[in-house]
């Protein structure tokens, strides 16, 4: 497995783990609401149900976001290598490894720190369609693309 494939696999697992956690939390809230409905009455009960419903909506939104990340990651062929930077490219710029995919947390693979970024982010949009040797500036920081994997 290549370094880029390890990164891709790690991000897929990370997103799947989050999806599982959010599904469990939503199911637990639904159970709590159902149990609360059997044992309570009055204004306190209504407030508690309302709070649970709001929390469930927030969790559902986070679940949807992570399902979207997973769908995006599943579209990427981690074995593909292109000279021009595109979705799924691993880029080394200024000694930093950047994985053009989705805005996900920083990870470490084989002792190397990798930042995942969306192609729509300011840095991601500057990288897209460029290649090794390209230099650019964002917020007074100069970037030089050293490698594209």
> What is the distance between the alpha carbons of residues 98 and 117, in angstroms, rounded to a whole number?
7
pLDDT of residue 37: 57
Mean pLDDT over 73-83 rounds to 94
Task: Note the pLDDT tens digit of each residue in 85-118.
Answer: 999 999 999 999 999 999 999 999 999 999 999 9
pLDDT of residue 24: 96
Q: Is 79 helix (H, G, I), strand (E, B) or coil?
A: coil
Over the range 66-89, which residues count as b (16 or more CB within 10 Å of their CB) and which as e?
bbebbebbeebebeeeeeebebbb
Task: Note the pLDDT tens digit of each residue in 9-27.
Answer: 999 999 999 999 999 999 9
Give CA separation, 110 vs 15, 24, 86, in Å: 19, 31, 24
> What is the distance between the alpha carbons of residues 31 and 34, in angstroms, rounded to a whole number?
5
Task: Note the pLDDT tens digit of each residue in 28-49.
Answer: 988 877 776 555 555 565 677 7
| Residue carrying structure tokens 């599904």 | 23
């Amino acid at each position: 497995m290549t370094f880029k494939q390890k990164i891709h696999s790690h991000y897929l697992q990370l997103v799947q783990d989050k999806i599982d956690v959010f599904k469990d939390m939503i199911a637990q809230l639904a159970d709590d609401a159902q149990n609360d409905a059997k044992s309570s009455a009055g204004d306190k009960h209504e407030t508690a149900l309302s709070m649970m419903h709001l929390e469930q909506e927030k969790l559902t939104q986070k679940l949807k976001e992570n399902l979207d990340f997973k769908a995006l990651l599943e579209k990427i062929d981690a074995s593909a290598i292109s000279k021009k930077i595109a979705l799924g490219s691993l880029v080394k710029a200024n000694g930093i490894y950047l994985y053009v995919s989705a805005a996900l947390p920083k990870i470490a693979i084989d002792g190397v720190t990798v930042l995942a970024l969306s192609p729509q982010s300011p840095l991601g949009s500057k990288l897209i369609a460029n290649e090794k040797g390209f230099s650019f500036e964002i917020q007074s920081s100069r970037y030089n693309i050293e490698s594209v994997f």
